[in-house]
Amino acid sequence: MKDGGFYYEFENPSKVVAGAGCLSDAVKKLPALGLHNAFFMCDGHDKDSAVDEVLKAVNSVKVRTGAMYVNSEKVVCLASLREMRDVYRVNNCDCIVACGDYRVINTAKAIRLLLSGQVVRFEDVKGINVAKKKVEIPLVVIPTCVGISNVVTSGALIKDDDGDVSECVSPLAAPDYCIIDPSLTSVFDTPTTIAGALESFAKNIEEFVSKQAITITKCMNLIAIREIRDNVFKVVNDPMDEHAVLGLQRAGLLAGVCYSNASAGIAHALSGALSNVTGTDNYICMGIVFAACMRYNLPVAEKDYAQALYYIIGDDRYAATPAQDRARTLIETSEKMIKELLEENGLPLTLSDIGMKEEDLGKVVDETMKSYALVTNPRIVTKEDVYEILRSVM
């Protein structure tokens, strides 16, 4: 493996089934896998909701709902996981079906890690590649929000007993099945949809310029960026447009697949740290810091940014932009788009808007420096750089 060699690794253990009305066909495969008693996880169960529809579809193929867990935690804590593990065992469940937003999917992956590794202590699951597979626990995920990129990633966040959030990265966390049906997607909460789409846009750009990016992930990222450009305004204008919703779902999914293989960069590390410290949703923090992070990476990622611009502004405008201005144009276009969408939908634009104070910066910087995503950021990040970025968006 010499410098500049052609060595690369790519992994995506999840089977993806996507399309309008694909749910009924996809669940028919569950009994063939020997699954009969599901541990069902969701973010709330109302009549005629997407969750209700999924439950009906699962039950129609003679897969029982052995137990149901309604998740309300942003990052699942150990106590809840222990409780869930006991419920799963008492009810003799043989698989996990998770239907909901990114929080439900994160919790489902965390409980899968614990159960399939038969973990007793938190240390046996915390970190990279620590959990070892002992029992087969199939996991099926059905996202109901736009732009969820953690659907197929091989990692989960868990809050320990002291309240510290730890990353648990293992191929065991990746789901076996991922069912994406736009008819189940809730797009009526426009701010959440916009924030989700912006987060997957930011992630795709970050993954594209990542140090770990390979040709396969770069192709996926560019396609995803185009999907977002084509569909984000369509969904805002018409939430019932299934094609546009599926386009945004696909972009989120591609961001997730690439994240497992190319990792991300400083914006991901910063938004995660901000989310942990302030309690604000990750995707909102991403919207605030992304443009500043792009500007920070500009000196080393100019070529990649220029390339990505084509997929955002299209042929004519790309051809009309002088080659030396393309990278800067990408940043300006992205910043303008993000600002407009955030402003129109009443989402926070600065760190002060989410209640961040100057004295909390140190905590965020320390958290950021611990993030794995910094390793693959194209520019070497120091503490002072992080302070500077944060101050620029205060």
Q: Which residues of this chain interact with other proteins, rule CB under 8 A? A: 1-3, 7-9, 126-130, 166-167, 169, 210-212, 263, 366, 369-372, 374-376, 380, 382
> What phi-psi label fits residue 4: left (phi over 0), alpha (psi between -120 and 50 degrees) or beta?
left
Cα separation of 111 and 344, whole Å? 38
- Phi–psi pair at 46, nearest 5 degrees: -110, 155
How far, CA to CA in Å, does 288 sit from each of 142, 147, 149, 305?
A: 28, 17, 18, 19
Nearer to other proteins, 144 or 210 (CB): 210
Q: Which of 120/320 has CB closer to other proteins?
A: 120
Burial of 380 (0-12, 13-18, 19+ CB in 10 A): exposed
Start-to-end C-alpha separation, the chain: 43
Q: What is the largest CA-CA distance in the chain?
A: 65
Q: Minimal distance in Å, beta carbon 34 to other proteins?
A: 31
Bridge partners of 389, per DSSP, are none
HEC-encoded secondary structure of 82-107: HHHHHHHHHCCCCEEEEEECHHHHHH
216 token code pair: 């396969």
Residue with Cβ nearer other proteins (96 or 374) = 374
- C-alpha distances in angstroms, 112 versus 30, 96, 109, 138, 307? 17, 8, 5, 8, 39
Smallest separation, CB 156 to other proteins (Å): 12
| 349, 323 Cβ separation under 8 angstroms | no
Nearest approach in angstroms of CB 365 to other proteins is 12
Backbone angles phi, psi at 140, to 5 degrees: -115, 125
Which CB atom, from 52 or from 124, has the smaller least distance to other proteins?
Answer: 124
Which residue in 260, 273, 264, 246 sits closest to 205, CA to CA?
A: 264
State the minimum distance, in angstroms, from the CB of residue 165 to other proteins.
10
Nearer to other proteins, 60 or 382 (CB): 382
Distance in Å, CB of 179 to other proteins, minimum: 30
- Collect contacts of 229-238 with beta carbons under 8 A, ≥24 apart: 229/311, 229/312, 231/197, 232/194, 232/197, 232/201, 232/341, 235/146, 235/187, 235/193, 235/197, 236/190, 236/193, 236/194, 236/341
Choice between 63 and 258, CB closer to other proteins: 258
Q: Least Å distance between CB 261 and other proteins?
A: 9
In the complex, least distance from residue 208 CB atom to other proteins, rounded to whole angstroms: 14
11 or 25: CB nearest other proteins: 11
Report the alpha-carbon angle 300-370-204, nearest 5: 45
Nearer to other proteins, 212 or 392 (CB): 212
Supply the minimum distance, in Å, between the C-beta of residue 181 and other proteins: 34
- Smallest gap from Cβ 370 to other proteins, in A, equals 4
Looking at beta carbons only, is 296 or 311 nearer to other proteins?
296
